[in-house]
Amino acid sequence: MVLITVISLVALIAGCLGRSGPAPVQLAHRQPLTRTSRTSRTSRTSRASRAPKVSAPRPPRIVTSGASSGRWLVYTSDPLRAGPAQVLCGTDKVSLVAPSQVAVSESAAACHAQLLLTAQNGARASITVTIPALAKAKAKVRAVSVAKLYCFANPAGRAIYITIDDGWTPSTEVLDLMHQTYLPITAFLIADAAKEYLSYWKSFVAAGGLIGDHTVSHPYLTKLTLAKATTQWSQARTDLGRWLGQTPAMGRPPYGAFDHTVQVAAARAGLTSLAGWSATMSGNRIQTWNGKPLVPGEIVILHWVPGLGHQLTVLLAAIRALHLNPKPLTVASFAGIAPQQHSLNGD
């Protein structure tokens, strides 16, 4: 009897062990799987956090446009690369005439079209543009025998215009500001000075800078004959266009000295307009024509001299404080503006 009881107890224990035995085995299988899954997720999260963030290239945009010498010129915010051939309005050919300047050939009728732009960084943009009837505008320009001079430009959008003269002391600080803020600047260059620093002026144009004609050697044009004054304008215009890919449509007479002969000479040289100024920088002081704060439409003149970068920083601070917006100065900027009748004082 005792033996039967012992055997039954052993069987009972064995039966219990048999039922509970698989549980540890299942836990042993589940536990490694859980740890592997957590490790995998942690690894993926770590790899994702280490992955570099890549920002898309900024597409180019149009900063201004206007008619010049029978073409419609479009100025862009970023240097461009040559793209596939384009024809707008059925007949108007598109050409890249400078890193940030596109020309559209003359058209007998105005139209709307999509202009395709490809930046040097590879970014692309399709921008709707309006091309005016340039054939008529060209005929009007030919009928004008003088290039009129303007000291103010279009004030729309609280615009103000920054111009810098001569070119003997290029400034890397100015280039940095142009790259950082897309600051539009028109440089009225003496051809003799530009020739000395061509690599800098090519970089200036690539950064969106505009080029104006400031003659070959900076003489008093009012003291020259019509033929010699014409040569000063035309030779500089030709050289600057050949060197920098931008043939100036605007000029600025040295010292602000002009008369009817100077204006006729400019027109004969192919210039459409002459640019004066209404405000100057003397050291770090801004001087306007009437002694009052800057207002929309003012044209400010600075010079390529040592310390220009600091002067420009001071000027930009004043412009921001007055809620003014720097805009590119082009021939189109003078539409609806009364021309200047008397010579200016300056250089």
Shared-domain flag, residues 215 and 322: yes
Q: Out of 100, 116, 138, pick the residue that ends a domain.
A: 138
- Would you state the structure tokens that stand for residue 214, as one six-digit string? 């400031």
The answer to whether position 236 is within a domain reads yes
pLDDT of 9: 39
What residues pair up with 124 in beta bridges, in sequence order?
118
Which pLDDT does position 51 carry in this prediction?
A: 53
164 and 100 belong to one structural domain? no
- Answer yes or no: are the C-beta atoms of 245 and 198 closer than 8 Å: no
Q: List the structure tokens of 202.
A: 């090519």
CA distances in angstroms from 90 to 106, 111, 112, 236, listed in the order given: 12, 10, 11, 35
What DSSP letter does each residue of 14-44 carry, written as one string?
Answer: HHHHHHHTHHHHHHHHHHHHHHHHHHHHHHH
298 and 159 part of one domain: yes
> 217 phi and psi, to 5 degrees?
-130, 10
Is the residue at 303 inside a domain? yes
DSSP-based three-state secondary structure for 347: coil
- Residue 192 has φ and ψ, to the nearest 5°, of -60, -35
Residue 40's Cα: distance from chain center in Å?
48
Cβ of 70: how many Cβ atoms within 10 Å? 15
In which region does residue 229 sit, left (phi positive, over 0), alpha (psi from -120 to 50) or beta (all else)? alpha
pLDDT score at 336: 92
What global pTM score does this model have?
Answer: 0.65
What range does the domain containing 98 cover?
62-138
Q: How many CA atoms lie within 13 A of 345 on its CB side?
A: 3
Per-residue pLDDT of the chain (347 residues; tens, 9 = 90+): 444 444 443 343 334 334 334 444 343 343 443 444 444 444 554 454 555 555 677 888 887 777 665 667 787 777 788 878 887 777 778 887 666 677 787 666 777 888 888 888 888 888 888 877 765 444 444 444 899 999 999 999 999 999 999 999 999 999 999 999 899 999 999 999 999 999 999 999 999 999 999 999 999 999 999 999 999 999 999 999 999 999 999 999 999 999 999 999 999 999 999 999 999 998 889 999 999 999 999 999 999 999 999 999 999 999 999 999 999 999 999 999 999 887 776 66
Same-domain pairing of 124 and 157: no
Residue type, 115: L
Domain C-terminal end among 138, 164, 184? 138
Number of structural domains in the chain: 2
Classify residue 343: in a domain, yes or no: no
